[in-house]
Amino acid sequence: MRATSGWDIRLDALAVGYGDHVVLHDVNALLPAGEISMIIGGSGCGKSTLLRHVLGLQRPMAGTLSVGGRDLFTLAGRDFRKVRRRMGVLFQDGALLGSLTLGDNVALPLREHTGLPKATIRQIVLHKLALVGLADYADYYPNQLSGGMRKRAGLARAIVMDPPILLCDEPTSGLDPVNAARMDHLLLDMQANFPGMTIVVVSHDLRSLDAIANYVLMLHDGTAAFAGPVDALRASDDPYVRSFLDRRVDEDQRTEVSLAPEVQQALDAWLER
C-alpha cells in the first residue's frame, strides 16, 4: 500500500453496519491525498454506508478510520468537528435546504462559521456558483431547478469553505449522459482549481471511472474486493472485477424463475378478459 501524506483517508480492518447487521468487514484501503478515488461496487454493497462512516455520521463496529493521519473516532468532540469541517460533501440529491435560495444554501457555512462581511460572503458565493455554472441562479430555490443543477449547487456548497477533502455520493446517478459527463468534468476542474484536494467519489458509473478515477476501492460480498490504482484494476483478472468492468453476468448468477403453470394460466385468463 502506497504511503501518502496530507489529507488521505485510511481504512484499517474496518467493519461497518447498522445495529447488529454487519454490512462490510475487514476493509483495508488508503485513499491517497490529492487524488480522485472512487468507491465502486454493485447496488447495495455498502458504498453509501461506508461514506457515512467516513463522514463521521456513524461509528464503525471495528477497525480504525483515519483522516489526515488522525483516527477520526478517537478524537475529542472539538477536534473531531475540526477535522470534519475540513470535509466538503455532495449528497446524492444535493441535500440543499429547501427553504433557502441557492445563494443562501452556499453561503450557510460561511455565515455560521466565519465573521466575514455580507458583501464578501456574496462574492465568494457567486464565485463558487460560477465554478459550477450556476452564477445566474443564486436567487432560485432548489425546487425550481433540475436534478443536475441541484447536484451542481450541492457541489458549490461543498467547496465553499475550500475543504481539502471532497466527498461525493453518487454524483452522476439520475443524470442524462451529457449532465453526467459535465459533473465528471466539474470534479476534474475541482482537482485543477484546488491542488492537493482529496476527492472521493462513491459511484457505480463505469464511464465516470474511466473519466476521472486515479484510485479505486471496489466493494463486493461484504468486503474490499480490490483497492489500488485504476490501471491495476483494469489489468486485474479477478472474476468479479472482470464481470463488473465488462458488465457481464455469470451464467450461475442468471435467474430463471417461472410461475407455476396454474397461476400463469389464471393470470393469462384474467388478462384476456
Partner 1 sequence: MSTGPGILAPVTALGAATLRLLGEMGALFLFLADGLRLIFASPKQIPKILNQVFVIGSKSLFVILLIGVFTGMVLGLQGYYTLVKFGSEGLLGAAVALSLIRELGPVLTAIMVTGRAGSSMAAEIGVMRITDQIDALDVMDINPMAYLVSPRIAASLISFPLLTAVFDVVGILGGYVTGVTLLGINEGVYFYRIQTSVEMADITGGFMKSLLFAVIVATVSCYQGYFTHMRRDGVGPEGVSNSTTSAVVLSCVFVLVADYALTSFLL
Cell of 273: 378478459
Shortest spacing between CB 271 and partner 1, in angstroms: 31
- Judged by CB under 8 A, which of 27, 31, 50, 96 binds partner 1? 96
Residues 46-65 binding partner 1 (CB under 8 A) are 52, 55-57
Residues 149-188 binding partner 1 (CB under 8 A) are 157
Q: Does 85 bind partner 1 (CB under 8 A)?
A: yes
Q: Does 109 bind partner 1 (CB under 8 A)?
A: yes
Span interacting with partner 1, options 77-85, 200-208, 216-224, 248-256, rule CB under 8 A:
77-85
Tell me which residue has cell 474496518. 14
Q: Does 137 bind partner 1 (CB under 8 A)?
A: no
Of the candidates 9, 2, 1, which has an alpha carbon nearest to the alpha carbon of residue 163? 9
Residue 212 near residue 187 (C-beta atoms within 8 A)? yes
Cell of 132: 459550477
- Judged by CB under 8 A, which of 10, 47, 53, 84 binds partner 1? 84
Tell me the number of residues near partner 1 by CB under 8 A. Answer: 23
- Judged by CB under 8 A, which of 19, 44, 77, 98 binds partner 1? 98
Nearer to partner 1, 91 or 226 (CB): 91
Span interacting with partner 1, options 90-98, 195-203, 206-214, 227-235, rule CB under 8 A:
90-98
Residue spans of beta strands (DSSP E) within the chain: 9-18, 21-31, 36-41, 62-67, 70-71, 87-90, 165-169, 198-202, 215-220, 223-229
Q: Does 113 bind partner 1 (CB under 8 A)?
A: yes
Residue spans of beta strands (DSSP E) within 131-204: 165-169, 198-202
Burial of 225: CB neighbours in 10 Å, binned 0-12, 13-18, 19+: buried
**By 3-state DSSP, what share of the chain in percent is helix, strand and coil, each rounded to 5?**
40, 25, 35
Please give the C-alpha separations between residue 69 and each of 10, 182, 192, in angstroms, as whole numbers. 8, 33, 24
- Judged by CB under 8 A, which of 13, 62, 97, 235 binds partner 1? 97
Binding stretches for partner 1 (CB under 8 A): 52, 55-57, 81, 84-85, 87, 89, 91-93, 95-99, 108-109, 111-113, 157
